[in-house]
Structure 1
């Protein structure tokens, strides 16, 4: 979940010369012929609208093209996530069903589509099973390889994640796999290595692919405090891929890092108008809160609640998003229910952080501490993870550890929500005064 903002698929998957991982000559299964259809792969930076139009045009001409129906299903899943319109999930399921009805046997593209739908609904075990089934038919399918990596990441199976990455990079080096490799290293705190992968991959890419990779690299540079470099990458990304919303999200956080909070408000408003995801709306609300625009902030929080209700009604799992939001801006009881439910299904660092924070808000700090430690076990440079851990330690009277981890969190990302920064600074101030 990096990035809930991981987006879109590659119709034009760029091979990266030599791959990213360790090249081997191990026994690999024979490659099946690729379908004569551009593959749509979650999380790679493609222009989704163009892909959907192209696939719909193909299906008007060739209505029994099962691969195009499956690709269209994946594109609809991604469009649902980008637009917040739950109706796209129904369209995705209909398209996948159509693909299976046309080709019920060895239809790996439809299995990959089913995996994408299951993943979007946070049924990650089922998504992994579907991806594995697809790879049993075509071990070289880039969509299935990518979804397998994503589900292992979401489940918190990080050793398996790296193994899946090496296999995918050996079989299908691409923009999609490069982005996932970089994220794996980012999760582990290896920001230089992650940035180098994205830089090298962007040098081999063009258009939407290049813009996407440069946007991801800009986020890395911002976390490192290299704001000028981040700005240059975003400027290039917006030139080569002007419709890429992720670069607008990154711009809002860079404006925050630079102290241009009024500019960040305007940018977040543009983002949420196009992609009303709960985490983006919350970030806008917290910025308004920090600026003293309380009524406007509350209006945004109301939108978050309504959006979560719509997602839940459509069958899209939002326990994690709900827990994070409710812990800070709503019902602690609801946050704890949602976080505990999600943690029972998967133990990624993001879910562990949300559960630990909900426990803290409920006054259960002794129970929260080992889970907060689990959230930081990879050394992930996520400011909230360290702030939450430090705050829990402060509540337990562990002042030395609290100061260390609060400072680490505050130093991790200058683009952190100012409201979150205010909360952390207030806790740090209390810890200092207790010495």
Structure 2
């Protein structure tokens, strides 16, 4: 046993000795690699040297000097993240390594991380308070902290001792720029570049100074210098390409875009950028050649073929695009196949081949349930069919995949709004605004939604926040002023309008806002005077000013002055169509239909395509009881303006008035496709479907889905439509309070009274139901009411139900 123990001890000691030897060998080999790296640096071979430093660190992770040298190399290659890691490790391994702390301080200073920069530089200062680089960095931090005078003093002292110190020199450059002495700054930069021509900071700052001096001819050479020293930095090449375009040096610009593509062989967008530039410069034929070259390479990306299909479409060759997309969808697999299917589905939708589009979208989602593009596109199809819940499900799934996609957020907000879920819609709009960094159109859309939701204070706060972030945006200021007017904050609206006048003294919109603010304060003459000046200033195209002026006069009750103004204007400008249409409106309001007709006929003669004139004339003929002339006028107007929404809406209403409900529904359906967000069109369409297609379950379901957006509305017509559809879909108890409110707000509307009567009967309130139906019948003697026959049948059913209730009551008494 003793022998065995002795044997184990011997083995253990041998292994330990071998381990120590291996350790020594590893450290020695690491040092050899480090020494080799330093020698290579002396020979001007930094790329080979860094390989030696990496080997040293791999063999000995605690080799501080190797880490430091590797960090310097990475910094020289603009790999700041990698350099930062090496310098941090060196500083942690050796707290007294001043070089690592200086480099860390400089990196943090450039990144404007002042707290971190100050921490590192103070640590270095404690190690060597006389070190010029340390003093220079400390001066830079002090300058950025606002201690400018002391920082500049220290920087001058350092530069006198070490003129090649870049960080310190930049303090003096900043001082010159902040003092408005850009030429002096340029001189300091050039002196610094004489020591190190390739320094990134000096070159970038020099570029900025040249831009401030507006020395366009010198900017190009400066960018060329940056590209020479940093050939793989695409931002410099992009800027240089733009400068070449500015100087009409298109071949040089193309060369830069091609170099960027070469720098990024895996980024197909860079290659497509070249094709786009070629297209803009030489036309689609050359662009096609470029794309065909890309598409014919080994293992070509599907994106190049898709780009050719897009080019086909732009040139009007849809057949070629379809053939290519169908081929790709058949030949490719996986994600490439789905990309082709999606593009083909978009064409199906454009051509109104919806079933074919749906098949492709379902196939994409079946193979890739997290395909955000397909989910979003299918959701748009669901929304077009008013399948709001299905759209919302797809959009939620898409947002799970792409949580920062602003377009998905906006589409989901629209879906929630159409489903009557306004708070959820507002949440998504707020999210989209934040994610887009207060993008102007999105911010305005959110503000408008808040106003519609009766949250004007929140809307105002949102717009003020956007102004702080985006600066004095004209559109934001106009929207804010309009909100102030809605809230009757006249003085505040006036102040904002004056801010707009400071930005542009000739801003007619600002003048109209000032006029509206004056009108709100009942300063009618002042408001009219402002608008008259606007009209005079606008000269030939003064229609908006004329409309605003007349509205201001009418709002002030000064109908005579409005009429006189328009008449006088027409005496000097007899072909002012806007003035003719406005005067016709005043004349019709006075009951002078013939004179109004004359003005509108003249307006149409001057401007045969004026849709507003046709629509107004049709309404006047309707008031005069000239049904045939109403139809004739609308037909003429639509011949010239077949897509005009106002004319077609007037046509639909006329068809409804004449009892041609199927034709009216057909027009409304087309209008709804064109303007699915229009409240008037959506309400009228859903109402007609509810009243005349209720026997068709599919049409009834669609009408209810359309009307869901009216949940919570305080508009009686909208409340009536939604309440009536609740009843038709089996929720009569839920519908009753809504229809009561609508009937109270619209006491002279026979259809609304009829709806309430029917729902009262459905809830067993027969006496009240009879009263409402009787009221509807009475009102129908003065107002067009297409449901008179139905109302009579409802009264008969109420009689029968009351009789049945009375009979059952008598039978109950008899049984007692």
Q: What's the TM-score bracket when you normalise by the shorter of the two chains? A: 0.3 to 0.5
Q: TM-score if structure 2 supplies the norm length? A: 0.27
The structure number with the bigger radius of gyration is 2
Q: TM-score if structure 1 supplies the norm length? A: 0.46
Greater RCO, CA 8 A, separation 6+: 1
